[in-house]
């Protein structure tokens, strides 16, 4: 069969079982996430063959319910969604294929101040109104990655393609609506210098497009707000309106992996890139709605030391995002932010007969800064989150039971806020958002589940699991999320 047919087969019929697949244990999918790899941490398709993962397939149905008052002003009061997720990894001949498909239908209740898909991605130019309403969303995502056989003795190439399409609409007049399409291409290279040293290079070329409309199916005409920063906005009475965001993303990631004599593994990844988005309003005579740009720098370090009793691991991840927006009315770069996140993890995992467990200490330091010259708003926040994450999986008769808990605390180290030319949105949107981001909070995540085999089919596993997450703040309240999943693994 041609490679194209194989790719389609992988996406559409993930239940196809390979006659050459060995006995399959659902734990094996879980273990691979403990060992960083070029594919897992950098989406390097050329390194698929080196991913410590048996061939597998997984199909999951999920239901999630989230609610609570401890939230950002542009988050819905409650959210619920159903999702279908399927993914699989296959090696056919000397080629390696990975495919993933997601479909999610969600309903948000009482969402205000946002007519776009994601008001938190950094772009400050957002359409909004003051009416809170219910939103219905429908999103589909698909991913294909192909890794080539080795050539010239040391080289592999690969290509990953991600596609995301979605739409959403509010049920309350004037029924704002969005529609988005995102396409990503990730060409990749893998070079094995010797038995211990590997290099990888991954490119990322992304095209983003989102269209927004309002008022076409309404007989009410409230004011349409155009958010232009942190408190800065303009508003006009609007009968119907439309706008389009077109964006590009370019990134490059360099990877290095080294195995010592005793199999200790070092993985280093560093990269950077930039994102540009342009907003245009109107169809017949498009007008400038804002220009946004973001540069990203990233560093990932991991250390893995296998030992007789435990496998020790340490990870450090640094991510710096620096964004700015050019105001469409004053034609000045008036909005900017800098978000620095440093995440770390240290601990061990062990897999003995009859027991699998892990114990990690995790930390995350955030240093955030945002400013808007028009509304003269400036804020700085430093947060530190520390959590302990433990997990166990053990057999009970013919099933595997697992349970885990991660608990910790987010502490505010420092913060400062100033708004010297406040607007009505400073008090209703900017300040509450700042209070949420800088709030202390208790974090508790629990999960439990059970895996069991389909009687006569040893390569097919059922899984049911429940995860519950809660964040609590003494002043702002709680936010909790419960998700129930049913999966088939093969």
Partner 1 sequence: MKKILFSSFVMLVLGLCMSSCNKDVVPTVLVNVKVLFPNNYSQPNAVGVKVTLTNKADGAAQTATTDANGTAAFTDVLPGTYDLAASKSLTAMEAQSLTGFAQALELNASRNGVVIMETPSPLALELRLAGSALGNLVIKEVYYTGSRTAAGGTYFSDQFVEIYNNSTDTIFVDGLCIADVYGPSGQINTATRPTEFQADMANTYLSSVWRIPGKGKERPLLPGQSIIIAQDGVNHKDPTLNPNSPVDLSKADWETFNERPDNRDADAPAVPNLERLYFTGGFDWLLPVFGPGVVIFRTPDFDKLEKTAIPGSTLAPRIKLPNAQIIDAFEAVQNGNSSNFKRVPTALDAGFFFADNTYNMQSARRKVAATIGSRRVLQDTNNSTNDFQKIDAPTPKGF
Binding site for partner 1 (CB under 8 A): 220-223, 232-240, 256, 258, 266, 268, 270, 272, 293, 295-297, 299, 301, 318, 320, 322, 324, 327, 329-330, 332-334, 336, 338, 340, 369, 373-374, 421, 423-424
Q: How far apart are CB 429 and partner 1 at their closest, in Å? A: 13
Least gap, CB of 137 to partner 1 (angstroms): 28
CB atoms within 10 A of CB 90: 20
> Could you give the residue ranges of the DSSP H alpha helices within 353-469?
424-425, 431-437
Residue 301 Cβ vs partner 1, minimum distance, rounded to whole Å: 7
Q: Which is nearer to partner 1, 37 or 324 (CB)?
A: 324
CB of 370 to partner 1, least distance (A): 11
- Nearer to partner 1 by Cβ, of 241 and 439: the residue is 241
Reported as half-sphere exposure (CB side, CA atoms, 13 A), residue 344 has a value of 10
Q: Between 293 and 404, whose beta carbon lies closer to partner 1?
A: 293
Query: CB of residue 190 vs partner 1: minimum separation in angstroms?
Result: 17
Q: Which is nearer to partner 1, 158 or 293 (CB)?
A: 293
CB 10 within 8 A of CB 99: yes
Beta pairing partners, 434: none
What is the nearest approach in angstroms of partner 1 to the Cβ of residue 317?
A: 12
In 327-456, DSSP assigns E strands to 333-352, 355-372, 377-396, 399-419, 441-454
Between residues 394 and 421, which has the closer beta carbon with respect to partner 1? 421
Give whichever of 138 and 220 is closer to partner 1, judged by the CB atom.
220
Helix runs in 67-188, H state only: none
Q: What's the half-sphere exposure (Cβ side, CA atoms, 13 Å) at 165? A: 2
Choose among 464, 472, 467: nearest CA to 446. 467
Of the pair 275, 410, the CB lying nearest partner 1 is at 275
b/e 346-377 (16+ beta carbons within 10 angstroms → b) = ebbbebeeeebbbebebebbbbbbbbbbbbbb
Looking at the Cβ atoms of 69 and 333, the one nearer to partner 1 is: 333
Smallest distance from partner 1 to CB 157, Å: 23
Distances (CA, A) of 465 to 8, 278, 396, 397: 30, 42, 16, 18
User: At CB < 8 A and 24+ separation, what contacts does 388-392 make?
Assistant: 388/359, 388/360, 388/361, 388/362, 389/347, 389/358, 389/359, 389/360, 389/361, 389/362, 390/357, 390/358, 390/359, 390/360, 391/356, 391/357, 391/358, 391/359, 392/355, 392/356, 392/357
Work out how close the CB of 43 gets to partner 1 at its nearest, in angstroms, rounded to a whole number.
19
144 or 425: CB nearest partner 1: 425
Residue 230 token pair: 């942190």
Least distance in Å: CB of 298 to partner 1? 8
């Amino acid at each position: 069969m041609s490679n194209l047919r194989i790719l389609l087969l992988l996406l559409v019929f993930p239940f196809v079982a390979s006659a050459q697949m060995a006995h399959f244990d659902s734990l094996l999918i879980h273990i691979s996430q403990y060992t960083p790899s070029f594919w897992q941490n950098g989406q390097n398709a050329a390194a698929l063959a080196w991913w410590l993962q048996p061939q597998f397939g997984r199909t999951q149905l999920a239901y999630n319910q989230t609610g609570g008052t401890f939230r950002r002003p542009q988050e819905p009061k409650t959210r619920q969604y159903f999702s279908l997720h399927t993914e699989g990894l296959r090696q056919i001949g000397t080629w390696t294929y990975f495919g993933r498909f997601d479909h999610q239908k969600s309903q948000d209740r009482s969402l205000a101040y946002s007519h776009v898909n994601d008001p938190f991605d950094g772009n400050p130019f957002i359409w909004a109104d003051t009416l809170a309403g219910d939103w219905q969303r429908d999103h589909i995502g698909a991913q294909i990655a192909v890794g080539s056989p080795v050539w010239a003795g040391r080289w592999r190439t690969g290509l990953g393609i991600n596609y995301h399409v979605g739409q959403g609409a509010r049920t309350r007049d004037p029924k704002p609506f969005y529609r988005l399409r995102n396409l990503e291409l990730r060409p990749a290279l893998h070079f094995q210098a010797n038995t211990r040293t590997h290099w990888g290079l991954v490119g990322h070329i992304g095209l983003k497009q989102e269209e927004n409309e309002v008022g076409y199916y309404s007989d009410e005409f409230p004011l349409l707000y155009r958010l232009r920063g942190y408190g800065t906005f303009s508003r006009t009475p609007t009968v119907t309106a439309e706008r389009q965001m077109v964006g590009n993303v370019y990134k490059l990631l360099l990877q290095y992996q080294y195995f010592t004599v005793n199999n200790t593994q070092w993985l280093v990844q560093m990269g950077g890139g930039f994102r540009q988005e342009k907003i245009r309003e109107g169809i017949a005579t498009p007008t400038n709605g804002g220009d946004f740009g973001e540069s990203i720098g990233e560093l990932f370090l991991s250390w893995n030391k296998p030992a007789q009793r435990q496998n020790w691991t340490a990870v450090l991840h640094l991510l710096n995002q620096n964004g700015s927006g050019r105001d469409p009315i004053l034609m000045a770069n008036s909005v900017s932010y800098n978000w620095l996140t440093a995440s770390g993890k240290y601990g061990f995992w062990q897999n003995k007969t009859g027991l699998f467990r892990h114990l990690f200490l995790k930390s995350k330091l955030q240093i955030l800064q945002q400013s808007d010259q028009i509304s003269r708003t400036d804020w700085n926040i430093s947060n530190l989150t520390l959590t302990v994450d433990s997990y166990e999986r053990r057999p009970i008769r013919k099933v595997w039971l697992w349970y885990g808990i991660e608990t910790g605390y987010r502490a505010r180290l420092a913060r400062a806020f100033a708004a010297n030319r406040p607007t009505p949105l400073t008090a209703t949107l900017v300040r509450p958002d700042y209070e949420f981001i800088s709030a202390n909070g208790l974090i508790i995540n629990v999960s439990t589940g059970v895996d069991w085999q389909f009687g006569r089919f040893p390569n097919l596993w059922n899984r049911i699991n429940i995860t519950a997450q809660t964040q609590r703040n003494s002043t702002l309240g709680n936010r909790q999320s419960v998700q129930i999943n049913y999966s088939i693994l093969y």
